[in-house]
Amino acid sequence: MAKKKTSTDVSVTTFEILHDATGEPTETNSRNGKPTKKKDQPEKNPAAVALGRLGGLKGGKAKAAKELKKQRAQIARKAAKVRCNLSPK
């Protein structure tokens, strides 16, 4: 039997201890060590996922096309201030 690779993440270790104590098996993603989704959740409708993604891809470009140059500059300034941890106007 192969030795299980241990994680240094405290939340993952806590999760594993909790499931060991309750007797539930831990299903983790081998790539990042985080718990996987439960199998009993309903699957998403592929058509709805495609429509949502399509709208999301179009949304930002459509909004930017409608805005004036001055508005875009103002939004960019506000975003830069937030990234620099300054309070926006």
Res 59: pLDDT: 85
- Summarised one tens digit per residue, pLDDT across range 47-85 is 988 888 888 888 888 888 888 999 989 999 999 988 887
Task: Provide the residue ranges of all domains of the chain, joining segments of one domain with +.
Answer: 7-36, 59-89
Looking at residue 89, the DSSP 8-state letter turns out to be -
Give the separation between CA 20 and CA 26, rounded to whole angstroms.
Answer: 8
Res 18: pLDDT: 79
Residue 28: φ, ψ to 5°: -120, 155
SS3 of residue 1 by DSSP:
coil
- Summarised one tens digit per residue, pLDDT across range 2-12 is 556 666 778 88
Predicted TM-score (pTM) of this structure: 0.32
- Summarised one tens digit per residue, pLDDT across range 11-23 is 888 888 877 888 7
